[in-house]
Amino acid sequence: MRLSDESQQFFMATRVGPPSESAGGAADAAGGSGPYRQGEDGEASMRTKAILFGSDFDAPLPFREVFAREFPELDFRIWPDAGRVEDIEYALIWKIDDGVLRTLPNLRAILALGAGVDQILKDPAFPAHVVLYRLLDAGLAAQMSEYAIHAVLDVHRRMAEYRAQQRRREWRRLDAVHPSERTVGVMGLGVLGADLARKLSVLGFRTIGWSRTPKSLDGVGCFYGEGGMAEFLGRSEITVVLLPLTPETQGIINSKTLRQLPRGAAIVNIARGGHVVEADLLAALDSGHLSRAVLDVFHDEPLADDHPFWTHPRVVVTPHIAAQPIAELAMQQILETLRRLEAGETPMGRVDPAIGY
């Protein structure tokens, strides 16, 4: 689904400069136009309720407009113009400088502007007592599955070889494999991975998946935990990584795990660059053990000009575009999370900082 121009402006697709430069909105927002709040002793206190927005990716002003309409009692502040830190009860962030969240004494909840939260939890001073909610799907699943299926079919149907043949004007039919004879493995069977696994299974692939805890999905052979990993990898001819980046999954695609894949296997990483030990991946590609890597995410983004991935004949590079939240769906979810928090109800999408997702 293509975002409308308005939606693109409205949400993720709009890159902004440093937040302090963002359209001058911060200064008046920080001025504090919110209502007074009833103190515990029944007297009106001077404390304003506020939400702090922090992202180097998302444009803040569309959020401020929606919040002014939907939550007029919340003063919308844009980092780094946080105003009185005591006022801030909510943080709406993609990521924010390490240590900032810890300085907000009355912070009640953090709402992430993405499905992954590693960029928030990496803060060594992350206030683990504050609840953290992430986006669930918000239009991502369809796009992630689309990207992954495109990559899987490209590998499965040997399209890179046909493209090379075309360049040589060579008319030659290559052996084909029926999907029922091709095993595709999905690492991570959460909101995104489960969607992909179901769709691969419908396409007729022998589909297997790997998760931290046991799972059951129609048409998908499910493995879990360290105990199930070797068998999962040993069968997986095309592996799609859809794991969250956590201390346990950091560097999970390394020389040891790559060796466990069948010879000639392919890998598709659309989760986080930190899952892959890049030197190990290159070595596996160079040795021919791995036939192809389709990579949307990298250790350091943008990928450096001289990075070997750019020109490696077995690597496909895309610039972290596998999926972007759909503006309207993400906003609906964020507003619903806030509504529930304000009403004392339980929102969806709570993250457990102890396990990292």
Does the protein bind ligand NAP through residue 349 (CB under 6 A)?
A: no
| Member of 61, 192, 233, 281 binding ligand NAP (CB under 6 A) | 192
Does the protein bind ligand NAP through residue 115 (CB under 6 A)?
A: yes
In the sheet that 131-133 helps form, which strands lie side by side, from edge to edge?
A: 75-78, 50-54, 88-93, 109-112, 131-133, 350-351
Does the protein bind ligand NAP through residue 334 (CB under 6 A)?
A: no
Q: Which is nearer to ligand NAP, 236 or 246 (CB)?
A: 246
Tell me which amino acid residue 136 is.
L
| Member of 78, 121, 149, 242 binding ligand NAP (CB under 6 A) | 242
Is residue 292 annotated as a catalytic residue, yes or no? Answer: no
Check: CB of residue 197 under 8 Å from CB of residue 217: yes
In the region spanning residues 12 to 71, those forming contacts with ligand NAP, defined by CB under 6 A, are none
Does the protein bind ligand NAP through residue 116 (CB under 6 A)?
A: yes
Q: How far apart are CA 298 and CA 317, in angstroms?
A: 9
Is residue 320 annotated as a catalytic residue, yes or no? Answer: yes
Check: CB of residue 139 under 8 Å from CB of residue 326: yes
Q: How far apart are CA 267 and CA 239, in angstroms?
A: 5
Radius of gyration, CA atoms only, the chain:
23
| Member of 92, 93, 110, 191 binding ligand NAP (CB under 6 A) | 191
CA distances from 89 to 227, 233, 251, 340 (A): 42, 44, 35, 14
Q: How far apart are CA 321 and CA 160, in angstroms?
A: 21
- Tell me, residue by residue from 121 to 150, as one string, x for binding to ligand NAP by CB under 6 A and - for no binding: -------------------x----------
| Member of 180, 213, 216, 311 binding ligand NAP (CB under 6 A) | 213
Does the protein bind ligand NAP through residue 271 (CB under 6 A)?
A: yes
Residue pointed to by tokens 């907000």: 104
Binding interface with ligand NAP (CB under 6 A): 115-116, 140, 188-193, 210-213, 215, 242-246, 248-249, 270-272, 296-297, 320, 322-323, 357
